[in-house]
Amino acid sequence: MDRFAQFFLTPTFTESATDREVKAVNSENEKNLANDGWRQMQLERSMSKAGHDYGKFGTGSADTLDVIPKSKGIDVRSELLAFHSKWYSSNIMALTVVGKDDLDQLEAMVVDKFSLVVNKDVRVPSWLDHPYENKGGKQLKVVPIKDLRHLNMTFPIKDYSHEFQSKPVSYLSHLVGHEGKGSLLSELKSLGYVNNLVAGLKSGSKGFDFFIVNVDLTEVGIEHTDEIVQLTFQYLEMVRQKGVQKWVFEEIQHVNNMLFRFKDKERPMGYARQLANSIHNYPLEAVLTGPWMAEEWKPELIKEVLDCLVPKNVQVMIVSQKFATDADQTEKWYGTRYSIEDIPEDKLSAWHQIALHDRLNLPTPNVFIPTDFALVAREEEKASSTSVKVPSILQDTAKSRLWYLQDNEFMKPKACLSIEFISPLAYVDPHHSNLVSMFVRLFDDALTEYTYNAEIAGLWYSLQPTKYGMLLQTRGYHQKQDVLLDKIISSMKNFVVDEKRFEVLKEPYIRGLKASDYYIHYIVVINVIKIFIFFFKFDSTEFRYGATSLSCFVQAPKSYLGKSMDKRGTLGCSLK
């Protein structure tokens, strides 16, 4: 702690250390030059209105930190010292210490080490003028390095972080990002346009934020981008006409309170970092509860945010390699090729005066939200020769084995369940391994509408392919966990492949296998090492070759499941 404190008190910023850090920053930047995420982020920044700080280069390079400053007679080390002298002030700094010592001891350590940090009465800058102000109604077509297809809609909104007691943006994030029946995603998936949707707050800086609606695009979806945007505005119009619903807010409020009340322990480093950030965003008395609790019902703020989500404010970014011949501009820092155009006024007007869609609706009340948080009766712990608690076998047959261990440490109204389906066919060759992966994707996709409400209510499930078969896991509040498990098992038993969804999901799966050609070098090396270390492991080339025969096996995933449960397969289950 003493060494950490000295950075804020007496930094040296030696010439050699400064040079090394410039090289480290440049190395990190060079690594990111081929990263589509970084490239798109900087392109979005470059769309800011002229002169706004948000439009600047977001990281740094040898040019910006060495070559350009030297050409202007600027000494980088002197600038670092000047920046430190001006901005490193105790009144805008937050410190969190997580430790096993009592509060008095921790406080004494902090006061002793950090009390000499000077208070320079610095005011934190804020930007009340939005970088996207009057920059809406634009469409960008972007050429990625990898074979990606995305559509991103971005709306400028003001900074509502001070309204943490009412969380107006979270209300709309919950509705637009919902994945249940009647949701925007459900309709887009039924049309075969997208597979995933993310909606909600995107942080800008102090004074401004963004609301985003981002989707991936299928091969069909890339040809229907206008329809996707139109459906988004139809959903927003439905929300607008239905009016702000207090029961939706209360449901979000109840879930957040429950998640906070029974919050699991976190890793100390991550927890300390999170709290240090929260000190900047919430009053001290709300640092722990601020990100979770919503105690104030302010429908007028929700309407205010909703009024920002209109066609004239939207910036649409479509990402696909099909635009390679259309791109006529190049972003300065990453070299991203793109084109930009105004969305025609007649199209904006049509989106603004749009009619409702009969299949888009608000979600129904969430039946998975638990109300019983009582713990089950504790069992007497049996004497053991070791302090390590081990599960006991409740059932052991020729085809299955059931393990159980009661939790006597965390004491939460939660349960964890793992079921491993073991089959010798799972990894016998790349073809069968691809079939397992496709079955998992198809099954997850088919259950999304049902399981999404469970996920919101703190009850999760995952189904993953393994070398031995499949691993099914559920975890969360125990009251409704049996309902979810019954649905999963019965759906698995009676699963029928949807041919349309098979074709839609097969394409990104194969595209993902091909993307291994663009992996960062150290990831490639790690994968090669695994092939040598593990007795039986296929490489990406073998998986790609095995995937060529997937089209001939629309019913193969189901037949695989049947074989995995016959006399050649076994099942292992553990409960905690």
Q: Would you mind telling me the total number of residues written for the chain in this entry?
A: 576
Residue 398: predicted pLDDT: 86
Give Cα separations from 326 to 138, 151, 222 (angstroms).
Answer: 16, 17, 15
Please compute, for residue 535, the number of CA atoms within 13 A of its CA located in the half-sphere on the CB side. Answer: 3
CA-wise closest residue to 502 among 426, 430, 433, 435: 435
| Residue 463 DSSP SS3 | strand
pTM of the model: 0.87
pLDDT digits (tens, 9 = 90+) for 489-541: 999 989 988 888 988 888 888 887 776 655 566 566 666 666 556 555 565 56
Which portions of the chain are predicted below pLDDT 50? 552-553, 558, 564-569
Residue 204: predicted pLDDT: 95
What is the rounded distance in angstroms from the CA atom of residue 110 to the CA atom of residue 411?
Answer: 32
Residue 561: predicted pLDDT: 52
What is the rounded distance in angstroms from the CA atom of residue 402 to the CA atom of residue 41?
Answer: 48
Q: Could you tell me the end-to-end alpha-carbon distance of the chain, in angstroms, rounded to an integer?
A: 39
Task: Count the Cβ atoms, other than its own, within 10 Å of residue 179.
Answer: 20
Is residue 564 within 8 A of residue 449, CB to CB? The reply is no
Residue 499: predicted pLDDT: 87
Encoded tokens for 121: 């009465």
Residue 427: predicted pLDDT: 77
Task: Count the Cβ atoms, other than its own, within 10 Å of residue 490.
Answer: 10
What is the rounded distance in angstroms from the CA atom of residue 480 to the CA atom of residue 43?
Answer: 45
Residue 567: predicted pLDDT: 39
pLDDT digits (tens, 9 = 90+) for 343-353: 999 999 999 99
Residue 552: predicted pLDDT: 47
Residue 167: predicted pLDDT: 97
